[in-house]
Structure 1
């Protein structure tokens, strides 16, 4: 759940992730090896993907991390099935200004690794199935960015979901705002998790409020960013789900406890904290963990939360996975580990022994199966163990 120690380390995931969000141009110097190039596998749904980034401001809430800021500002991205978007530019995996700052924070020079663009076309018209689309919110791990879930998010969009990813400003390592301003974590990383959970819960509830403004015909953002054609009519706010990785998973549970608008939630190797541990939930919830230290076997709070779930519930354990197997890290880290001098043991501690393509296959299949079931009422993957995923253990 904690990226703070990783961000302060010269090896391990912090350096690895710093190498990931790359500066916009990488030129090899004489004698320097060519940069390693990475691009996420294409989503496998039937629809192309569109996306738009929006700047939001909660003027009723001073920023809890930086009191001198009179309001709480967030950046979100909306991902959706598109039509006719091939002529529009694909957005980068992380905004270049945030990527540059992220590199500087960890002391890694630019130009060593190139992460290509996403498969999301900026501002493309909304397409996909007819009628409003089910909405899914995504919250990343502590000290992470909304970019780290892009592989799962754009695959969901390619299958007809509208997905909203949220950067929790001053919790995330670096957030780029319009005009080139970049905000970083003033403390160098999250350490007060109770506060972070409360702030994130308020963030998600505010995002839901702004989505309601968008659905009713208003503009949700600070600036009049052009909205993709068809976006307003594409949100079905009666069918809202949420998922997150690590602290984002705990945020999903905590937000569902305080806000009934979210009707189904998934936690990818996240814990549970706050009132929801004892109160539980009466709506569908999927707990995904690993056999390691963060799993339910070794987390009393997560076991207590599980015992108080009163709605549909499922606990999946992914054999061979580790904490960073749930996100784009699972593919990025093995690619760049040699550049970091990471030993096989170091790498295994981060991403486990599960092959990257299997980690990616799980990420794409199971969250979508959960939201298909509980937001669309279809699908059978979650009925029981699947021969297509022998590494996944089921418990109810």
Structure 2
């Protein structure tokens, strides 16, 4: 029997990420030798600046993790414009323990594949300058690296991006001591999902506090691991945005409602939860969906949120897309076996077109809202000749 594809309702309402969609037992095979692995590759960023990144382990003693009962801890990758990346190790898409956990979810179907390397140089010296800061939250049962294509693109054009894993809600989170925490599925009720999004929003606020320490020259990493040279003073925390895919989009909206430091946000195809749905925002917000989701007509959380947006707001659509077309999964899908590809919800849009269109739209929004650069390509009006895949829905 072929694997069963999740329904649109379970996919959107639960914010289901790629890893969950792939958690289907397939034939188990023995691990392949490293030399025999088929490489999966991701395209590099197109901006003029090389990209560096540093991983942080942050522990919040003021909060108790609702799943573990211990102080809440998160893993974060901070990606930024770098001075020089030559002769430096590029971070893997997933560290080794998390990669093994993810492959186990495939039941052996991708054991013969090497997950990609990023184009982010580990702890490369930071390029001088005050940079706008973006917080990123991934989808439910997804990982913070699943939007690497977008994150590296933003950094290559001058942004600092802090991508956050939310342990027990994200798919697999590896800590510096080798522990790998995997997702604990919620009960799919609105109450459980709202509670999870509230935890995510608190995580993002805590990370923003840690970024302030980083900008002052402190080291918020729990193990005090070395930081990149030159990062101090480069984070402009008066220009902060948030964006996320699926449940991460809900967290982005909610953190804006709860924390006035976050000035603009994007929800990439996610249902919304929490008080922001009924109260809305006085700040710029972009919704992006697919025809499968059709958020303003088929997602009960989008219309009330939309009615209560009182600043710049727009709803755009990625044509011929499915839920994971906003993530790296759209580029991974053509490189894996057909039985796996069928589970990836990547749509029929060509991968290179999806990646280019999402990158350009997200950057155009933050360029406008955080940097004051006009949308000269008319992307945010769904009228770009260069990116016809971006459609205007409302605004």
Structure-1 separation of matches of 2:322 and 2:153? 22
Write the deviation string for residues 354-380 of structure 1: whole angstroms up to 9, x where unpaired.
111111111210111111111111031
Paired residue for 1:2, among 12, 16, 38? 16
Structure-1 separation of matches of 2:220 and 2:246? 28
Structure-2 separation of matches of 1:171 and 1:24? 30
Is the Cα–Cα contact under 8 Å of residues 171 and 190 in structure 1 kept in the other structure?
Answer: no
Q: Residue 60 of structure 1 aligns with which residue? A: 62
Structure-2 separation of matches of 1:258 and 1:377? 24
Write the deviation string for residues 50-93 of structure 1: whole angstroms up to 9, x where unpaired.
000010000111111112x2x00110000001012211111111
Structure-1 separation of matches of 2:380 and 2:56? 37
Q: Residue 367 of structure 2 aligns with which residue? A: 372
Q: Residue 26 of structure 1 aligns with which residue? A: 34
Q: Residue 169 of structure 1 aligns with which residue? A: 167
Q: Residue 389 of structure 2 aligns with which residue? A: 391
Structure-2 separation of matches of 1:63 and 1:116? 31
How far did residue 188 of structure 1 move?
4.5
* Aligned: 1:354 with 2:349: yes
Q: Which 4+ stretches in 1 moved above 6 angstroms?
A: none
Structure-2 separation of matches of 1:358 and 1:317? 14
In the superposition, relative to structure 1, how do residues 283 and 49 fare at CA in structure 2: closer, same or farther (>3 Å)?
same
How far did residue 170 of structure 1 move?
1.0
How far did residue 247 of structure 1 move?
0.3
Structure-1 separation of matches of 2:137 and 2:255? 11
* Aligned: 1:193 with 2:193: yes
How far did residue 105 of structure 1 move?
4.0
How far did residue 111 of structure 1 move?
3.7
Unaligned 5+ runs, structure 1 = 29-34
* Aligned: 1:216 with 2:230: no
Unaligned 5+ runs, structure 2 = 1-14
Write the deviation string for residues 150-174 of structure 1: whole angstroms up to 9, x where unpaired.
0000111111100000000111121
In the superposition, relative to structure 1, how do residues 312 and 66 fare at CA in structure 2: closer, same or farther (>3 Å)?
same
Write the deviation string for residues 290-325 of structure 1: whole angstroms up to 9, x where unpaired.
111353221121111111100111110112111010
Q: Within 5 Å, which residues of 2 pair with 1:97-112? A: 97-108=97-108, 111-112=111-112
In the superposition, relative to structure 1, how do residues 372 and 109 fare at CA in structure 2: closer, same or farther (>3 Å)?
same
**Cα root mean square deviation, aligned:** 2.2
Q: Residue 42 of structure 1 aligns with which residue? A: 44
Q: Within 5 Å, which residues of 2 pair with 1:137-176? A: 137-176=135-174
Write the deviation string for residues 185-227 of structure 1: whole angstroms up to 9, x where unpaired.
2x35674311211110110111111111222232111111111
More moved, 142-151 vs 1-10? 1-10
Is the Cα–Cα contact under 8 Å of residues 143 and 189 in structure 1 kept in the other structure?
Answer: no
Is the Cα–Cα contact under 8 Å of residues 27 and 111 in structure 1 kept in the other structure?
Answer: no
